[in-house]
Amino acid sequence: MNEAGGPAQAASLAQEILHALYDLAARPEGLASFLSLWETWAAPQRLLPPGARSWPEAHFALAAELLDRCSVGGADQCVLDLYPAVAAFLADGGPQIAKVNPAAMDTLALYDGAGISRLPLDGADLNKLRQMTRLVAEGRMEGPITLRLRHQGSGGLLICRVSKSPGAALSPLALIVTSELNWTEGLTRSLRAAFGLSPAEVDITRAISRGQSLTEIAEQRGRSAETVRTQLRTILTKTETHGQSDLVRVALTLLQGACLPEDRLAQPESTAALPRLSTSLRLSAGRRMDYLEFGDPKGVAVLYLHSDWGLTRLPARAEAAAAARGLRILVPLRAGYGASSPLPEGADAVEGVSADLAALLDTLGLTEVIVLSMGGDLRFALHLAHRRPDLVAAVLGAAPLLPLHDAHEAASLSGWPGWLRSNARFTPGLMPLVARAMLSRAARRSLPQAALCAQGPDRIVATDPEMRAAMQAGLAQSLLYNELCGAAALARGLCGTESDWGSLLSQSQVPLTLLQGSEDPFAPPGALTHPLRTGREVRVQQIPQAGHLLMFTHWQEVFSALDALRHKITHP
The predicted structure's pLDDT at residue 76: 32
Number of domains in the chain: 4
267 occurs within a structural domain: no
| β-strand pairing of 327-332 with 369-374 | unpaired
113 occurs within a structural domain: yes
27, 121: one domain? no
264 occurs within a structural domain: no
The predicted structure's pLDDT at residue 263: 40
The predicted structure's pLDDT at residue 277: 44
Q: Within 138-243, where are the H helices? A: 185-195, 199-209, 214-221, 225-239
| Separation CA 178–CA 121 (nearest Å) | 13
431, 329: one domain? yes
Rg (CA), the chain: 27
Give, for 89, the enclosing helix (H) or strand (E).
Answer: strand 86-91
Say which amino acid occupies 25: A
Range of the domain at 417: 279-568
Say which amino acid occupies 201: E
Distance of CA 295 to the CA centre of its chain: 34
The predicted structure's pLDDT at residue 4: 41
268 occurs within a structural domain: no
| Separation CA 367–CA 281 (nearest Å) | 18
The predicted structure's pLDDT at residue 274: 34
348, 243: one domain? no
101, 223: one domain? no
Neighbouring residues of 553: CB distance < 8 A, sequence distance ≥ 6: 457, 458, 460, 461, 467, 546, 547
208, 124: one domain? no
The predicted structure's pLDDT at residue 127: 95
DSSP states of 7-60: HHHHHHHHHHHHHHHHHHHH-GGGHHHHHHHHHHHHHHHHTS-GGG----HHHH
Distance of CA 105 to the CA centre of its chain: 36
251, 130: one domain? no
- Tens of pLDDT, residue by residue, the chain (572 residues): 344 445 555 566 677 888 788 888 878 888 998 999 999 888 888 888 887 787 888 788 888 877 876 665 443 345 676 676 678 999 999 999 998 988 899 889 999 899 999 999 999 999 999 999 999 988 888 778 889 999 898 777 888 989 887 654 446 888 998 878 767 777 788 778 778 899 999 999 888 877 788 998 999 899 999 999 999 999 988 887 888 877 877 776 666 555 544 443 333 333 333 343 457 888 887 899 999 998 888 999 999 999 999 999 999 889 989 988 999 999 999 999 998 999 998 899 999 999 999 999 999 999 999 999 999 999 999 999 999 999 999 999 999 998 988 888 888 999 999 999 999 999 999 999 999 999 987 788 788 988 999 889 999 999 998 899 899 989 988 998 888 889 999 999 999 999 988 778 777 788 899 999 999 999 988 777 655 545 466 888 999 999 999 999 999 999 999 999 988 877 66
| Separation CA 493–CA 486 (nearest Å) | 10
189 occurs within a structural domain: yes
The CATH number given to whatever domain includes residue 219 is 1.10.10.10
66, 90: one domain? no
555, 406: one domain? yes
Last residue of a domain, one of 222, 257, 292: 257
| Separation CA 471–CA 211 (nearest Å) | 51
265 occurs within a structural domain: no
The predicted structure's pLDDT at residue 254: 65
The CATH number given to whatever domain includes residue 441 is 3.40.50.1820
The predicted structure's pLDDT at residue 292: 92
539 occurs within a structural domain: yes
418, 485: one domain? yes
The CATH number given to whatever domain includes residue 100 is 3.30.450.20
49 occurs within a structural domain: no
| Separation CA 412–CA 481 (nearest Å) | 34
241, 366: one domain? no
Q: Within 27-148, where are the H helices? A: 31-46, 57-70, 102-108, 123-137
151, 290: one domain? no
131, 206: one domain? no
The predicted structure's pLDDT at residue 9: 57
User: Rounded to the nearest 10 degrees, what angle do helices 31-46 and 431-438 cross at?
Assistant: 160
**Degrees, nearest 5: CA angle 492-493-497:** 115
